[in-house]
Structure 1
């Protein structure tokens, strides 16, 4: 639940940031009331699109034979890990230009165009959230736990957005994104480790060495603290060699892929 809560919090806060930028800019423009109505139409449409995507994905997966569900889960885990790296790189390349880019888009669009811009932005965040949550295996949770996770995630996002709008007295957007990017990349590594372990269980990937070491005396990944660390970083008390090599390659690729983004921000 902690992984899903983090994803919902982060993605909802990013969506709120985009809507907040659009709202603040539109309030300064002529025909404010009419443009704001189109903005809220777009927000509602974006939420609807995200919900339709979630329903379509879950409906499609329910049609799969039970033997194919492991492969679907594996694909979603790999896709989610890749999307995390792509999303972090995109946010870093945008840097402080996100506000200006959105404002330029608004200036170039009429009322319906504003609705389309907002809908696509919200639907994009929603689509990423659906993929991430399915990759985390949240479809296996009960409806009540899922509803509670969604409510808590949205509540945390709203509270974070309010703090971030207070002129940086308690929390700044720059710090928020740096912290959440680090946690996202760690989570991407954990998803990759889980996917590689599935591949070894399916016999598609050799373990090379079944157990490199035993660090359970220091921190057991079956304990509460160890399980939380394992969920966010891919920590294993008894790691096999091939998943660990995959994780090392992941971090090398992350460093290489994000270097151009760092230079772009500077």
Structure 2
């Protein structure tokens, strides 16, 4: 539930940010001649595209039959990789996102090309929606049937929390700034990607596609049991295991080494290359 709530919250706030930027530009643009209708049409089209992706993923899993477990394990790794990619992308584009969106909208508005506006919004919303679909599918693939109700509730609460967060952010940093929001959620996203990555490794070990080497390597359940309510939340959001195998520990360490290398590489790139 916690993973779903966080993903829906974060992705919904980002989508609201995009739509809010474009809506504000249209509201203050004297040349706006019905552009808002195209804006909301783009939002609707983006949501439809994300829904089609969700349908396609579940249909593909059903068609694969006996290979469904391997497909679901693969989607867990794809979701983890997309989360990391999203963090790197926001680091490169976060400061210029508003300017990039407004310049694209202005270029289409000058030519009275409202189809271009619709596509611009649809692509932006579909990007956030498709990321959420892949992330959520990765989580659902590793969930038990009894957890689905809680995940649905988490999705609803995440969207409600996103509305509240966006309202606070619109107050101009009086209570919560965009910079703080992105920095805190960036750390949480990387931890969540680690949790998804380790769940994928666990799945491959259960399918005997990866050796466990030593299993368990230790038992820390006396301190924090990952089967307890609090431990379960910690495991879902960080990848913590009370009884890890040596393979899982090596994979977890390798993940963070890779993250450190990617962040260092991104930081050392010239500003122009990072934006590109």
Q: TM-score, normalised by structure 2?
A: 0.90
Q: Select the residue among 89, 107, 131 that pairs with 2:134.
A: 131
Q: Which runs of 5+ in 2 are unaligned?
A: 272-276
Counterpart residue number, 2:156: 151
Q: CA deviation at 1:105?
A: 1.0
Q: Which region of structure 1 is more displaced relative to structure 2, 190-199 or 254-263?
A: 254-263
Contact 1:93 1:264 in 2 (8 A): no
Q: CA deviation at 1:13?
A: 0.6
Contact 2:138 2:196 in 1 (8 A): yes
Contact 2:9 2:159 in 1 (8 A): yes
Q: Which runs of 5+ in 1 are unaligned?
A: none
- Structure 1 counterpart SS, 2:24: helix
Moved over 4 A (4+): 138-147, 263-266
- Structure 2 counterpart SS, 1:96: coil
Alignment CA distance shift 1:147-1:235 (3 Å): closer
Distance (Å, rounded) in 2 between the aligned partners of 1:134 and 1:174: 29
Contact 1:93 1:265 in 2 (8 A): no
Distance (Å, rounded) in 2 between the aligned partners of 1:116 and 1:44: 11
Q: Select the residue among 104, 120, 125 that pairs with 1:122.
A: 125
Counterpart residue number, 2:42: 42
Q: Select the residue among 177, 194, 200 that pairs with 2:199.
A: 194
Counterpart residue number, 2:259: 254
Q: Select the residue among 249, 260, 263 that pairs with 1:244.
A: 249
Distance (Å, rounded) in 1 between the aligned partners of 2:37 and 2:144: 35
Counterpart residue number, 1:97: 96
RMSD: 1.9
1:10-69: CA deviation from partner (whole Å, max 9, x where unpaired):
10110000101111112222332411111111111111111121122222222231x222
Counterpart residue number, 1:88: 87
Alignment CA distance shift 1:76-1:36 (3 Å): same
Distance (Å, rounded) in 1 between the aligned partners of 2:228 and 2:149: 25
Alignment CA distance shift 1:16-1:185 (3 Å): same
Q: CA deviation at 1:260?
A: 3.8
Q: How many residues align?
A: 265
Contact 1:216 1:238 in 2 (8 A): yes
Q: TM-score, normalised by structure 1?
A: 0.93
